[in-house]
Amino acid sequence: MINVKKPGLQTTVQDRGRIGYYEIGMPPSGAMDKYAFTVANLLVGNDPNAAVLEITYLGPVLEFGKAMKISLTGGEIPPRINGQPVPMWTTLEVREGDQLSFDFVKGGARVYLAIEGGIAVPLIMGSRSTYTLIGIGGFEGRAVAEGDVIYTADMRKKEIPVGTRIDPDLIPAYSKTHEIRVVVGLCSYRLTEESKQTFLDTEWTVTPEANRTGYRHRGEKLHFVEREQPFGAGSNPSNVTDLGYPIGSIQVPDGVEPIVLLHDAVTGGGYATIATVISSDLDRMAQVKTNEKVRFVSVSLEEALEARRTVKQKLGVIAQFIEIGM
């Protein structure tokens, strides 16, 4: 078991997510950076869908009630055990009474803490992921709080030697400017040609509204093609007859401040969607912070699928490396 001494800014239990309930308005939730999440579980020999802690911006202070293996992946929020720096992307071992704490964030935005066996919380609709809006999953549907006690589950599949490390070439680099690839489409026909170009040419600044539901960006004003609004669509030119929002889809209410919808977002509504972040770059979006710069780069579906294969291949290499040992 693990005692939560301080919860950090927003520390939640997450796994792969609650898949298959989108039609009832249930977003999937789940780890925002699936690459880091997957590697964290691999490093402690867990089932790929074991629940981990997703740590945001400001880390928690945790005390271990027994010896266990752990791993930390994702953004650079430098971890310390009993005050001593420890490496990320590595299989670590803690002893009973050890304390895990974090320095201020240096790069990226989210860290994943996997513990041997995974976190034991009830499965809700096939997932342990926390969805705070309606209060389900994780710890009573909320972020972890001071005094919570985290128990381990029995989802360990393999014994991984302490000190197992990921090849540095397979660790993502986190900068302060980001190129996020998107497939332009959905209702992009609603934008003027000029605004479509502006959307791709602008260096957007991430606003303080950047969390698990979505990221809002400040920059240029975008314009929609003038028309008489169809019946059922709202009166604003950015309105359409309410429709479903893909995860990663981008909308621009009233033409100001594009919003990228993420894993805890609303599943539908009445704003025109103009592009979708490709699945492999949702992981990178998860490591973007407020005030950092984002440029949206248009790619084809084929390029999106190629990027997806590249990520999968990297994870395959990591899994194989961990399997055969160092």
Partner 1 sequence: MKEVSQLQTRYEYGGDEFIFVQLSEAMSLEANFKGMAITRKLKEANLEGVYDICPSNASYMVRFDPEIIAPQALLEKLQQIERDLGGLDEITITSRLVDVPVYFNDPWTHEALMRFRDRHQAPDSTDLEYSAKINGYANTDDFIEAITSAPFLVSMIGFVPGLPWCFQMVRQEKQIEVPKYVRPRTFTPERAFGFGGAFSVIYPVQGAGGYQLYGIAPAPIYQKEQTLFDFQDSIVFPKQGDIFRYRSIHADEYQAIREQVEDGSFVYHKKEIRFTPGEVLSDLEAFAERALRRLYHD
Footprint of partner 1 (CB under 8 A): 19-26, 125, 133-136, 182-183, 185-187, 230-235, 240-244, 246-249, 266-270, 273, 276-279, 301, 304-305, 308, 312
Q: Which CA distances in Å does 260 have to 60, 168, 184, 213?
A: 27, 30, 13, 9
20-25 CB contacts, 8 Å cutoff, 24+ apart? 20/126, 21/125, 22/244, 22/267, 25/266, 25/267, 25/268
Could you tell me which of 50, 56, 147 has the C-alpha nearest to residue 68? 50
Question: Residue 124 CB, nearest distance to partner 1 (Å)?
Answer: 8
Question: Residue 211 CB, nearest distance to partner 1 (Å)?
Answer: 15
Q: Which CA distances in Å does 73 have to 11, 112, 187, 273?
A: 14, 5, 36, 32
Nearest to partner 1 of 125, 319 (CB atom) = 125
Nearest to partner 1 of 230, 325 (CB atom) = 230
Question: Residue 251 CB, nearest distance to partner 1 (Å)?
Answer: 12
Question: Residue 271 CB, nearest distance to partner 1 (Å)?
Answer: 11
| Bridge partners (DSSP) listed for residue 56 | 10, 110
Nearest to partner 1 of 134, 324 (CB atom) = 134
Q: At what angle do helices 34-43 and 301-324 cross, to 10 degrees?
A: 10
Determine contact, residues 146/62, Cβ cutoff 8 Å. no
Q: What is the C-alpha to C-alpha distance for residues 131 and 84, in angstroms, rounded to an integer?
A: 33
Determine contact, residues 261/214, Cβ cutoff 8 Å. yes
Nearest to partner 1 of 52, 278 (CB atom) = 278
Nearest to partner 1 of 34, 110 (CB atom) = 34
* The two three-digit tokens of residue 253, written as one number: 């209410």
Question: Residue 139 CB, nearest distance to partner 1 (Å)?
Answer: 15
Question: Residue 212 CB, nearest distance to partner 1 (Å)?
Answer: 14
Nearest to partner 1 of 198, 298 (CB atom) = 298
Place of tokens 């621009």: 252
Nearest to partner 1 of 207, 279 (CB atom) = 279
Question: Residue 140 CB, nearest distance to partner 1 (Å)?
Answer: 11
